Structure 1
Amino acid sequence: MKRLTALVLSLALVFSLAACGGTSSTPETDSDEILIYTFIAARDEWNTTLEQGTLNCGIEGVKVVSQNAENDAIKQLQQIETAVTAGAKALIVQMADAETLAEIEEAAQGVPVVMVNRNPSDYSLLNENVIYLGCDEATAGYLQGDYLTEYFQAQGKTDFTYLLLSGSLGTVPARVRTDSVLSQLEANGMNATEATSPLVCDWDRATAMDNVTPLLGVTEFDCIIANNDAMALGAVEALEQAGIDPGSIPIVGVDATGDGRAAVAEGKMAMTAFQDGAEMGRAAVQAALNMINGKDPSEGIDYKPTEDNPYVLARDFVMVTAENVDEIG
């Protein structure tokens, strides 16, 4: 960690700060305001929704400042150290690297930490001062598996092939979402066979489009399973560019972003799994404030401790299809 810290301190300080009511290069606060920092791993549609949920939390007496690590774990540690020096009373961290929980806790120097959305790889490191808040990633995969089971059983099929569009290798959500959809299909009596090895698309729409396009007309598959909506939408664009109706095969995603819900409503995606990024952001701020004040972190929010770990606050995803998409978001 000493070598890592030295590298962190050697980096130039380059970041942007966004606070309630606007943006600022410095975290100016009133003397009675509680300063809480949010760190997102990278900027995309869903992460921005999460970020805005913290910035627009509507909790009186709290000022939230946001920074973007651009998927750089070293940069994120630098940002955390700088925030602590600036007087942050709590930190909300969407991890750039699931393996860096110990380093984040050390950089926080005793300041309460709420890990949000992206699971740390080792829950045993969580404690009263460092908790995790997010949706149960496994339920996203279970919902995908149940949807595809119902879809293919309605056609009298138990055997089918799939393309899997994976998030970044080594990230816990990508692993858990993938494992849970495949295990649910197996538990439901389906024989799902991969048409190719998983396509690692790093949660990115354009990367997914680039990876799917060369397979069209060459590789046969019956459905597309994506770890998030951005990659599912990349597959939609690849199919449309090739003159293939994306509604002709089920494409399933995760997050129920605005674009994802629109694609479901238009019949271009079959389903997605909803996690409310804005509400998660607000809940993370409330949990952080609770920790500052010595209260139960789950007080006043819908995320509750799991049976396995009291320092993990979770809630389930919700299946979104054409039948209920207008009710979501």
Structure 2
Amino acid sequence: MKKTLIAAGVTALMSTTAMAENIGVSMALFDDNFLTVLRNGMIEMADGMEGVDLQVEDAQNDVAKQLDQVNNFIASGVDAIIVNPVDTSATQALTDAAASAGVPLVFVNRQPINVDTLPDNQAFVASNEVDSGTLETIEVCRLFAEAGKTEASVYVMMGELSNQAAVQRTADIHDVIAAGKCAVTLNILDEQTANWSRDQAQTLMTNWLSTGAEFDGVIANNDEMAIGAIQALKAAGVSMDDVVVAGIDATQDALLAMAAGDLDATVFQDAAGQGAGSLDAALKLARGESVDQKVYIPFQLVTPANIGDYTSKN
């Protein structure tokens, strides 16, 4: 299975148009900042292409609902399907449904559990999660070392445990430590899921603060949880100068938090680029064209030093 690394911008992929091509899109959840940008990336690309129609539906984080949507797309005769999986461990049923009907399928952003056995007319478009948590953790370690620390303790906030991204980003943290890539001795006090949620992260951080344990930072699997942690820390009177907080996605809210001096690091994941890239792959598969089955759009570290390069993105 081939792997292709493409630039964050995918405008070069958008030059072709099609006649009366209908693409069904099932998003895991509409009410998510990052996924909204991803969805809009598809819509904006389709709006600029004559004869391409998108039918975009919200699975509302319901695995059964998402499978029903895919089956309904197939029954309605769409030319291809794009799925942002609710549960990455439950994607085989989606693959089987599309494959049985001969309808091309593209998974986007969240890596399906069966990614290495996808049929020829299916693909996966995302960013390589091995890079995301690695970039984040190494930067956190660098900041601790820069502050003169030789040892630091952190809390880890995980995303939904049914999502491959949460599992991999958490594993990245442990891998950086195990491989000796951290500039300080990094200790993990606790790691728990806050399900990608700002509100849940705020509650979790409040609970950790109530233990009275000394800590130096928070490493979150995404920006929403990092922001929730920041809200709890500030509510408790903790100075943001005394802790390091990092996330992933470089959402606009995260960049605002960074500009305010609250968020120390994030990792840009090109949501719009993934959305447009998935539509490009779906259209090519619908036309019988060759598509690499893994298309990776690079992650990029964002810090206060280069934040200006990302304020117009996502």
Shorter-chain TM-score bucket reads: 0.7 to 0.9
Equivalent in the alignment of 1:270: 264
2:40 to 33, 52, 69: 52
What is the CA-CA distance between 1:32 and the residue it aligns to? 4.2
TM-score (norm 2): 0.87
Identity of aligned residues (%): 31
Check the 8 A contact 1:98/1:119 in 2, yes or no: yes
Letter of the aligned partner of 1:41 in structure 2?
A: A
The aligned counterpart of 2:199 is 206
Which moved further from structure 2: 162-171 or 102-111?
102-111
User: Is structure 2 residue 274 aligned with structure 1 residue 286?
Assistant: no
User: Following TM superposition, by how much is the alpha carbon of 1:234 offset from its aligned partner in structure 2, in angstroms?
Assistant: 0.3
- In structure 2, the partner of 1:77 is 67
Cα 1:159/1:283, change in 2 over 3 Å: same
Q: Which residue of 2 aligns with 1:37?
A: 24
Q: Distance in 2 between matches of 1:127 and 1:248?
A: 50
Task: Name which of 278, 303, 306 aligns with 1:321.
Answer: 303
Deviation per CA, 1:134-177, whole angstroms, max 9, x where unpaired? 00111111111220121122233332111100001131100101
Supply the distance in 1 between the matched residues of 2:19 and 2:135 (Cα, whole angstroms): 45
Number of corresponding residues: 286
Equivalence for 2:58: 68
| Match in the other structure for 2:222 | 228
| Structure 1 unaligned blocks of 5 or more | 1-30, 298-304, 306-310
**Structure 1 match to 2:231:** 237
For the pair 1:178 / 2:178, whether they are aligned, the reply is no
Q: Secondary structure at the match of 2:49?
A: coil
* SS at 1:99 equivalent: helix
Of stretches 84-93 and 222-231 in structure 1, the one that deviates more from structure 2 is: 84-93
Using the alignment, how far apart are the partners of 1:229 and 1:168 within structure 2? Answer: 14
Question: Runs of 5+ in structure 2 lacking a partner?
Answer: 1-17
Higher mean C-alpha displacement, 55-64 vs 219-228? 55-64
Please give the alpha-carbon distance, in whole angstroms, between the structure 2 residues aligned to 1:259 and 1:228. 12
- What's the Cα RMSD here? 1.6
Q: Find 1:159's aligned residue among 132, 147, 151.
A: 151
Distance (whole Å) between structure 2 residues aligned to residue 192 and residue 60 of structure 1:
53
Q: Find the counterpart in structure 2 of residue 246 from structure 1.
A: 240
2:142 paired residue number: 150
Aligned partner of residue 221 in structure 1, secondary structure: coil
Asked if structure 2 preserves the Cα contact closer than 8 Å seen for 1:149 and 1:185, the reply is no
Question: CA shift at 1:203, angstroms?
Answer: 0.3
- Equivalent residue for 2:9? none
Superposed displacement of residue 242, structure 1: 1.2
Q: Which residue of 2 aligns with 1:192?
A: 186
User: What does residue range 13-28 of structure 1 map to in structure 2 within 5 Å?
Assistant: none
Q: How far is 1:179 from its partner? A: 0.8
- SS in structure 1 of the partner of residue 165 of structure 2: helix
Residue identity opposite 1:209 in structure 2? Q
Contact 2:26-2:56 at 8 Å conserved across structures: yes
Cα distance in 1 for partners of 2:283, 2:122 equals 13
Structure 1 segments (4+ residues) deviating >6 Å: none
Give the alignment's TM-score, normalised by structure 1.
0.83
Q: State whether residues 247 and 270 of structure 1, in contact with CA within 8 Å, keep that contact through their aligned partners in structure 2.
A: no
The amino acid of 2:296's aligned partner reads: A
1:86 to 76, 79, 95: 76
